[in-house]
Amino acid sequence: MISVLRNFSGYRKYPKYAVMKRFQAYKNALMKEAVKLVQKGIILKKEDISYLFFEEFREAFNTNDLDYSSIRSRKKEYSVFKKLSPPRVMDLRR
């Protein structure tokens, strides 16, 4: 009976779905706050908040001040890491 329940009810997927919906709600709320930071002129684009840690984001919102060099450096690092690819074959015999 348990295998029938698991295979046909979709019960196994529900916890993952609930977590993803919650994270989407968090992301939407942060993007609304990012729009306010763009309007105040603290950041250039609302997508730039994805390069900040949560504490940095909160500090920028509370103090209306942000060191934009950290965002620039993280963007540069991300562009380098984005170009990397894993090797086709990994030798795990060591």
Question: What are the tens digits of pLDDT across the range 42-90?
Answer: 999 999 999 999 999 999 989 999 988 999 999 999 999 989 888 777 7
Q: pLDDT category, 38, cuts 50, 70, 90? A: very high
Q: Where are the alpha helices (DSSP H) in the chain?
A: 2-9, 14-40, 54-63, 68-83
Distance CA 32, CA 39 (A): 11
Q: What is the pTM of this model?
A: 0.69
CB of 42 within 8 A of CB of 64?
yes
pLDDT at 92: 74
**Domain extents in the chain:** 14-82
pLDDT band at 91 (very low <50, low <70, confident <90, very high): confident
